[in-house]
């Protein structure tokens, strides 16, 4: 009897990458496909699908590699849980950017083999993803490596300091509410549609920042998001009790970028829950803010020196200073997942304001099923 293989996803804008993924999964046995509902996609991606769930079900069901398909009945990242428990497949097959610890843990609990694909295109065809097919895909994301929160005056008034960001290519469809500056990125798409225009990068970033935070905005987002998206490469922004940095340090260095790309590994968690309040239980002190500023400066120097051990240590020190002031950035699940990786990595943090998003590790050793990034060069 053939093994039962299960996959789950959105499968909007069906393309050759989806077909290759289904064929790869079907090589293990009979393929069953769970499809995210329109409602679930709207919750996770904060956008409407191009094709309705009925259309997506029709197209996926028509593929010869698919034995059966359906619309998942649940919601969130584990919207397929009811169907998974009912089907009890032998294998749960996921793409590397669809891998999460929650999925792997659920499979372990149910005794299901968990297999992660590396997204291999069919024959000589190009690698395809829905993200790459969207016109908006050229607008980059940003990762904050150290010093996050110092771009808020209520923190930098306690201690002036820097935020270090990395501008990265949109090779993955990073979730909303996950600390990847997706809100600023959406505003950038409204302004510029397909990519960052040519021109003075700082002026463009200030335009984006003002567009996102018009007069009367109750909570002004940190400018590191706009700056981190618009300015390519590695950047350090020096803040002194203001929303805009006093000085910007930019680094465009191919050798350094290749080194960074070999060391950064990202593990998906889950989007922050609606109603999540990172400012609850805030405890901002001059001592903690200074620790954050010192760690950020240490991180910048270590990166420029390509000192992996010191970079990882500084990232962790920055993260610990953040959660000392903003304890809601983490929860028991996030801390437990970090704990699993600690013995084999040099440093760790959570993307953005935490509460979910992505674990970011600095490691000289490859991390299984992790996402690797590409730095935006220009």
Alpha carbons 184 and 220: distance in angstroms, whole number: 12
For residue 28, count other CB atoms closer than 10 A to its CB: 17
Q: Report pLDDT for 131.
A: 54
Alpha carbons 45 and 185: distance in angstroms, whole number: 13
The pLDDT tens digits of the residues spanning 272-316 come to 877 788 898 999 999 999 999 999 999 999 999 999 999 999 999
Q: Which two tokens stand for residue 100?
A: 């999460």
Q: Report pLDDT for 173.
A: 80
Q: Report pLDDT for 120.
A: 66
Same fold, 4-133 and 136-362: no
53 vs 118, more confident: 53
Rounded percentage of the chain residues whose pLDDT exceeds 70: 95
pTM of the model: 0.76
Alpha carbons 270 and 99: distance in angstroms, whole number: 11
The pLDDT tens digits of the residues spanning 38-81 come to 988 887 776 778 889 999 999 999 999 999 999 999 988 899 99
Q: Which two tokens stand for residue 210?
A: 């003002």
Q: What stretch of H or E contains 324?
A: helix 308-325
CATH architecture of 4-133: 3-Layer(aba) Sandwich (3.40)
The answer to whether 231 touches 202, Cβ cutoff 8 Å, is: yes
Alpha carbons 110 and 8: distance in angstroms, whole number: 16
Counting beta carbons within 10 angstroms of the beta carbon of residue 264, is it exposed (0 to 12), middle (13 to 18) or buried (19 or more)?
buried
Banded pLDDT at 132 (limits 50, 70, 90): low
The answer to whether 345 touches 305, Cβ cutoff 8 Å, is: no
Banded pLDDT at 135 (limits 50, 70, 90): very low
Q: Report pLDDT for 41.
A: 83
In sequence order, which residues have a C-beta less than 8 Å from that of residue 269 and are 6 or more positions away?
100, 101, 102, 178, 334, 337, 350, 356, 357, 358, 359
Rounded to 5 degrees, what are φ and ψ at 103? Answer: -65, -45
The pLDDT tens digits of the residues spanning 243-279 come to 999 999 999 999 999 999 999 999 999 888 777 888 9
Domain positions in the chain: 4-133, 136-362
In terms of phi and psi (left: phi > 0; alpha: psi -120 to 50; beta: otherwise), the region of 13 is left
The pLDDT tens digits of the residues spanning 165-175 come to 999 998 888 88
Q: Which two tokens stand for residue 329?
A: 């950035």
Q: Report pLDDT for 136.
A: 47
For residue 258, count other CB atoms closer than 10 A to its CB: 10
For residue 251, count other CB atoms closer than 10 A to its CB: 16
Alpha carbons 357 and 219: distance in angstroms, whole number: 21
**Which CATH number among 3.50.50.60, 3.40.640.10, 3.40.50.2300, 3.30.230.120 corresponds to the domain 136-362?**
3.30.230.120
Is the pLDDT at 198 greater than 80? The verdict is yes
Alpha carbons 117 and 9: distance in angstroms, whole number: 14
Mean of all residue pLDDT scores within the chain: 91
Rounded percentage of the chain residues whose pLDDT exceeds 90: 71
Q: What stretch of H or E contains 361?
A: strand 358-362
- Reference 271, options 119, 103, 72, 46; nearest CA is 46
- Reference 81, options 62, 105, 59, 54; nearest CA is 105
Rounded to 5 degrees, what are φ and ψ at 331? Answer: -140, 175
The answer to whether 166 touches 236, Cβ cutoff 8 Å, is: no
Strand order in the sheet with 141-146: 141-146, 161-168, 234-239, 247-251
Is the pLDDT at 233 greater than 60? The verdict is yes
Q: What angle do CA 167, 173, 179 make, to 5 degrees?
A: 55
Q: What angle do CA 191, 142, 239 make, to 5 degrees?
A: 95
18 vs 233, more confident: 233
DSSP 3-state of 265:
strand
Q: Which of 28-32, 192-196, 214-218 is modeled with the greatest confidence?
A: 28-32
- Reference 43, options 70, 11, 74, 15; nearest CA is 74
Is the pLDDT at 133 greater than 80? The verdict is no
Banded pLDDT at 95 (limits 50, 70, 90): confident
The pLDDT tens digits of the residues spanning 136-175 come to 468 999 999 999 999 999 999 999 999 999 999 988 888 8
CA distances from 48 to 40, 286, 319, 361 (A): 10, 44, 34, 32
Distance, first Cα to last Cα, the chain: 53
Alpha carbons 37 and 11: distance in angstroms, whole number: 10
Is the pLDDT at 121 greater than 70? The verdict is no
């Amino acid at each position: 009897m053939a093994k039962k293989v299960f996959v789950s996803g959105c499968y909007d804008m069906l393309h050759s990458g989806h077909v290759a993924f289904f064929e790869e999964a079907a090589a293990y046995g009979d393929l069953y496909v769970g499809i995210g509902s329109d409602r679930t996609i709207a919750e996770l991606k904060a956008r409407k699908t191009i094709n309705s769930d009925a259309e997506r079900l029709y197209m996926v069901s028509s593929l010869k590699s698919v034995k059966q398909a359906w619309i998942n009945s649940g919601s969130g990242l584990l919207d397929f849980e009811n169907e998974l428990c009912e089907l009890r497949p032998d294998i749960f097959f996921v793409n590397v950017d669809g891998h999460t610890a929650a999925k792997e843990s659920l499979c372990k609990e149910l005794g299901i083999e968990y297999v992660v694909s590396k997204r291999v295109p069919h024959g000589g065809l190009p690698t395809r993803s829905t993200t790459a097919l969207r016109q908006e895909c050229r607008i980059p994301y940003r990762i904050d490596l150290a010093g996050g929160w110092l771009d808020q005056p209520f923190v930098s008034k306690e201690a002036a300091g820097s935020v270090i960001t990395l501008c990265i290519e949109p090779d993955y469809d990073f979730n909303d509410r996950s600390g990847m500056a997706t809100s600023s990125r959406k505003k950038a798409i409204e302004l510029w549609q397909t990519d960052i225009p040519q021109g003075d990068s700082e002026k463009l970033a200030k335009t984006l920042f003002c567009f996102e935070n018009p007069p009367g905005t109750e909570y002004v987002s940190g400018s590191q998001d706009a700056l981190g998206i618009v300015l390519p490469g590695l950047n350090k922004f020096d803040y002194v009790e203001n929303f805009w940095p006093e000085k910007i340090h930019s680094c465009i260095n191919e050798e350094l970028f290749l080194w960074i790309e070999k060391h950064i590994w990202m593990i998906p968690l889950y989007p922050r829950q609606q109603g999540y309040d990172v400012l609850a239980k805030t405890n901002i002190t001059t001592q903690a803010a200074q620790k954050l500023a010192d760690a950020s400066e240490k991180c910048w120097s270590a990166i420029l020196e390509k000192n992996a051990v010191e970079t990882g240590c500084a990232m962790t020190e920055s993260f610990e200073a953040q959660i000392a002031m903003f304890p809601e950035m983490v929860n028991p699940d996030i801390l437990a997942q970090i704990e699993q990786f600690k013995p084999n990595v040099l440093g760790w943090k959570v993307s953005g304001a935490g509460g979910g998003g992505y674990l970011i590790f600095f490691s000289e050793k490859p991390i299984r099923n992790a996402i690797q990034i590409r730095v935006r060069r220009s």
